[in-house]
Structure 1
Amino acid sequence: MHWLADLLAAIGVVLNGIPQGIMAMALGFAIFPTMFSFIFASAVNGVFGAVAPLSFQAESLALTGNLGRNLRERTSIILGGSVIMLLIGITGTLTKIVDILGNNIMAGMMAGVGIMLAKIAVGMAKQERLTGWMSVALAAATYLMTKDLVWTIVVSVVGSSLAAVFIEHYRAELPEHVTARRFVFTKPMLSVRVVRGALSLACLNIGANISYGLITGQMTGIKPNPVNLNLLTITQSIADMGTSLLGGAPVEAIISATASAPEPVVAGIMMMLIMAVILAIGWLHKLGKYVPSASIAGFLFILGTAVIFPENTATAMQGSGATVAAITLVVTAVADPFAGLMTGAVLKFVLPLLGLGV
């Protein structure tokens, strides 16, 4: 009955990804071309026996939506970020970057991302008060009781969406390009905002691929860790590169419960193929009409404040590099991940050369 356990694990991760897919639609990303990212990643995992799947990731969506003002800017940010990550993956420099900067600075950057997510969640709640604040309240109560992110996202999204539908009679009309079952080329653009966004997204993915990828590998119980970080990075970057040119949403590394299934590779492939089918037949955008974008606010708030921030802050504040890591954290939270990492690098390497220190 291994296949049943694999299927149940896959369905659980799909349920976790659906609200974030709805968030992608709210940001204007086309759903139909995104299906090919899931198909591509499932094929790669099948060929190489990889246990780490890809899916919609709240952090990358929130960052891209925050830094890009419209669909063209957002897809250009994703394209630029994927090109950077492809070069990193092909050259095998992912772990070298972390070795050079150090765990403190990387953890400080990720902790700053946690604060960014909380700020974005509060902003959503201020814009759509009933849905947003109810989502935050439900998410906080559910996480305090269960300490489970899947239950947190399901209860907060479903509860706040029902309130919006029945109290405010919410029903969204999604843009035609979001729901169309066809391909529309989205011409990339180049600007200071796009370059900054691409560098920030790449910095976020460096941290996420390492932390989320290795955590997923640990869940398999296999030693040494079975996740090939370079393969994960290459897969994610190629998947994003293709769909971004068609207006599709990014799919990134996640912490996936499929890794704890009896056959983690099979369960991960099942999850991605189920998600591809949901996107292909249009179920996601049908749900999206009744799910406000602010319904994800509670999950983002808990993810940022209760999951990402505490864990990474604890790592960042260890040892002699704590002060630099703390500054990296603050700059990331105020500006973006790229500014945070660059600040950390300058403080760690440049100032000592000038006879200064922090």
Structure 2
Amino acid sequence: MHWLSDLIAAIGVVLNGIPQGIMAMTLGFAVFPTTFSFVLASAVNGAFGSVAPISFQAESLALTGNLGDNTRERTSIIFGGSIIMVIIGLTGTLTKIVDVLGNNIMAGMMAGVGIMLAKIAINMSRKEQVAGWSSIGLAIITYLLTKDLVWTITISVIGSSLVAVYGTHYQAELPQHVVERRFRFLKPILNVHVVRGALSLACLNIGANISYGLITGQMTGIKPNPVDLNLLTSTQAFADMGTSLLGGAPVETIISATASAPEPVIAGIMMMLIMAVILFAGWLPKIGKYVPSASIAGFLLILGAVVIFPENAAAAMQGSNSVIAALTLVVTAVVDPFTGLMTGAVLKFLLPLIGLGV
């Protein structure tokens, strides 16, 4: 009966990914081309026995949507970020970057991302007050009662969507390029927003691949090694590279409950193939018409302020570079992850040169 447990775990992660897939559509990403990412990752995981799947990730979606002004800029940010991550993955430099900068500076950057997500959630709620504030209220109550992110995102998204649909007669008209079941090539562009966004997305993925990849791997009871993390990074980057050229949404590393299934590799592949079928069949846009973008606000607030920030902020304040890590945190929260990480790197190597220790 292992297959049934694997399937249940896979369905649970799919349910967690659907609201974030809807969030991707509200940002102007086409979901049909994103089928490619899930198929590619499932093939790689099957070939190499990797337990870490990829899926829609609220952090990367929120960051990309915040730094890009339109769909063309956002897909260009993803393409640029994926090029950086391909180089990092193929050269095996992911863990070396963390070794050079130090865990507390990386943790400071991730804690700053937590604050960014909470800020984005509040801004969403101010723009769509009925859906946004009801989502936040439901998310806080659900998380306090369950301490479970899957229940939090499910109840807050469904509940706030029902409030919007029946309270304000909400029904979205999604752009044609988002819902159409065809491939449309989007040539990447280059400007300041794209460069800044690509570097920030790469910095976010460095932190997420290390932390989320390790957590997912450890859920299997087997300690992950650098080869697993480099494979995960390369897979995610190639998937994003191909999808972004077709206007598709980014898919990144997640903390996946499939790792705790009896057959974690099989469960992860099941999850990604189920998601691929949902996207290929065009079911997600039909659901998305009745789900406001602000319905994800509650989950983003809990994820950023309660899950990501406290743990990473505590890790950032440990060790000899706590002041630098704190500055990394603040700059990340106020500006973006790349600027925050570069601030931490410059201060770590510059201050000793001028005789200032922190």
The TM-score, its normalising length taken from structure 2, stands at: 0.99
What is the Cα deviation at residue 224 of structure 1?
Answer: 5.5
Residue 284 of structure 1 is matched in structure 2 by 284
Tell me, yes or no, if the aligned pair for 2:104 and 2:322 is still in contact at 8 Å: yes
1:2 aligns with 2:6: no
The answer to whether the Cα contact below 8 Å between 1:51 and 1:227 also exists between their aligned partners in 2 is no
Partner of 1:344: 344
Please name the residue that 1:273 is paired with.
273
Q: In 1, distance between residues paired with 2:166 and 2:157? A: 14
Give the letter aligned to residue 73 of structure 1. E
Q: Provide Cα deviations, 1:299-324, integer angstroms capped at 9, x if missing partner.
A: 00000011000010111011211111
Tell me, yes or no, if structure 1 residue 91 matches structure 2 residue 91. yes
- Partner letter of residue 205 of structure 2? N
Say if 1:213 and 1:227, in contact at 8 Å, map to a contact too: no
C-alpha deviation, 1:351, in angstroms: 2.0
C-alpha spacing 1:119/1:223, structure 2 compared with 1 (3 Å): closer
Amino acid at match of 2:140: A
Tell me the equivalent position of 1:214. Answer: 214
Structure 1 residue aligned with 2:138: 138
Amino acid aligned to 2:71 = L
The residue type paired with residue 100 of structure 1 is V
Residue number in structure 2 paired with 1:47: 47
Taking the aligned partners of 2:196 and 2:177, their CA distance within structure 1 comes to 26
Shift of 1:356: 2.9
Aligned partners of 1:221 and 1:48: how far apart in 2?
18
Q: In the alignment, what sits opposite 1:313?
A: 313
8 Å CA contact 1:217–1:226 kept in 2: the answer is: no
Cα offset, 1:271, TM superposition: 0.1
8 Å contact kept, 2:95–2:226: no
Counterpart for residue 65 of structure 2: 65
**Is the CA contact (8 Å cut-off) linking 1:110 and 1:207 kept in structure 2?**
yes
C-alpha separation in 2, matches of 1:236 and 1:94? 13
- Could you tell me which residue of structure 1 aligns to residue 38 of structure 2? 38
What residue in structure 2 maps to residue 119 of structure 1?
A: 119
Change (3 A) 1:145 1:227: farther
What is the CA-CA distance between 1:110 and the residue it aligns to? Answer: 0.1
C-alpha displacement of 1:350: 1.3
Query: 1:169 maps to what in 2?
Result: 169
Residue identity matched to 2:252: E
* Aligned counterparts, 1:173-322, within 5 A: 173-223=173-223, 228-322=228-322
| Correspondence for 1:158 | 158
How far off is 1:334 after superposition?
A: 0.1
Query: Could you list the per-position Cα deviations for residues 83-107 of structure 1 after superposition, in whole angstroms to 9, with x for gaps in the alignment?
Result: 0000000110000000000000000
Structure 1 residue 147 and structure 2 residue 132: aligned?
A: no
